[in-house]
A and B are shown apart, each in its own frame.
Chain A
């Protein structure tokens, strides 16, 4: 019983307190991939631990139930309780009820996950197919243009996937900026970020109100954004990317052709809480290699511990 309780206890702690520990390590976006790995590891760790804990619990119930039924039976029925009584109906009924409860809980979670995921995949594919047919091809880019004055650009997975740019976005972007936008969206598709989004959203639908999954979904999406930014900055240059972000976010063209000094002047952006300024600041003041290496190493260690912990707990607690 101890093993089951320890595992379920750990799963609960991870699900409620995990975000508090992980968020400070990944919020700066210093090392993006290790950050993604850490969040996914935390979710996997909690799920694995809960599953192991429940399996142990069922095992214990099956093993200990005969003794327990005897006690219960005597408490309730006194001398009426003969071995024939407690060995007959109570034992299988009790085990069956306990197992059914656990299986039902698991099925509810699975059903929620499946429903959310299935709908997301269907809507996503339909959106991609419709965009590819209704949009006009943007020659030489593989992207399609939708006629809409509001500036927007996005990618949507499918068979095949689509990158969509509105005519409103084309109106405010120059060529290098458009290159940055397309590189950003291609990085999302190449990195299969839609899969990460689908799985994490499905998990938050399966386990509503658990902070790890709600916060994890947000963080994974944010880190995927930063990963795509890094790829776009490598392909098209930081300045093109930053000015493209500003142009699309505000709907006004930003002259972006001039290449500025590569270092950022002393002014930091006031409010790092805003998503876009934080993204821009990170691009303009990239962290040093040493910082990236240390952060990556720390997050790698955290991920390893998170994945191993449920297995270790199970082995230790069972003796």
Chain B
């Protein structure tokens, strides 16, 4: 499912897990331990992420030092705010598995499931 943007996800994982700013060289050295990868690939991926607004960078001598624009938790919170928005008018098209239920409905369902011989709903 991650397919096309997989490398971007891997790079973001590493940037978030890293303390402080990272250079392309830092990440390249780490990624090379796990998989065969070209330096230029890492460089262009980080450049893309910078262009798309995920990474900030500042020049340090000849190289750039990259930092994440926001933490993983901040992005998660933003996503969940949109996903769990009470308003049915959320603009993004998300298909939820099931909405949360209030106590009465849940009790009714539990009671029904409890009647099954094999099931032991809590």
Chain A residues proximal to chain B, CB less than 8 Å: 119-121, 123-124, 126-127, 129-137, 142-144, 146-148, 150-157, 159-164, 166, 181, 184-185, 188, 193-194, 197-198, 201, 224-225, 228, 239, 242-246, 248-256, 258-261, 265, 267, 269-271, 274-277, 279-280, 284
Contacts and interface: CB of A to CB of B under 8 A. Distances in A.
Interface of B: 1-5, 8-9, 12-13, 54, 72-73, 75-80, 82-84, 91-101, 105-106, 108-110, 112-113, 115-122
A21 B36 CA distance: 62
Contacts of B54: 133
B75 A130 contact: yes
A242 B84 CA distance: 22
A258 B119 contact: yes
Contact of A259 (B4, B84, B99, B118): B118
A270 B108 contact: yes
Contacts of B12: 133-134
Contact of B110 (A148, A197, A246): A246
A198 B90 CA distance: 12
B81 to A, nearest CB: 10
Nearest to B70: A134
Contact of B83 (A119, A164, A274): A164
Contact of B117 (A127, A134, A261): A261
27 contacts: A120-B93, A123-B92, A132-B1, A134-B12, A142-B1, A150-B80, A151-B100, A152-B84, A154-B83, A154-B96, A156-B95, A164-B79, A166-B80, A201-B93, A225-B95, A239-B119, A243-B113, A249-B99, A249-B100, A250-B100, A250-B110, A252-B122, A255-B119, A255-B121, A258-B119, A258-B120, A265-B115
Contacts of A152: 80, 83-84, 96-97
B100 A251 contact: yes
A206 to B, nearest CB: 15
Contact of B5 (A160, A228, A245): A160
Given A246-B121, A255-B119, A159 B4 contact: yes
A148 B117 contact: no
Given A246-B121, A261-B117, 7 more contacts: A119-B91, A152-B97, A159-B4, A194-B93, A250-B101, A260-B119, A274-B105
B112 A153 contact: no
A304 B115 CA distance: 43
Given A143-B1, A147-B73, A267-B112, A134 B79 contact: yes
Nearest to A242: B113
Contacts of B75: 130, 133-134
Contacts of A256: 119
Contacts of A193: 95
Nearest to B11: A133
Contacts of A279: 98
Contacts of B82: 123, 127
A185 B97 contact: yes
Contacts of B97: 152-154, 181, 184-185, 244-245, 248
A245 B99 CA distance: 9
Question: Which residue, B1, B9, B92, B97, has most C-beta atoms of chain A within 10 A?
Answer: B97
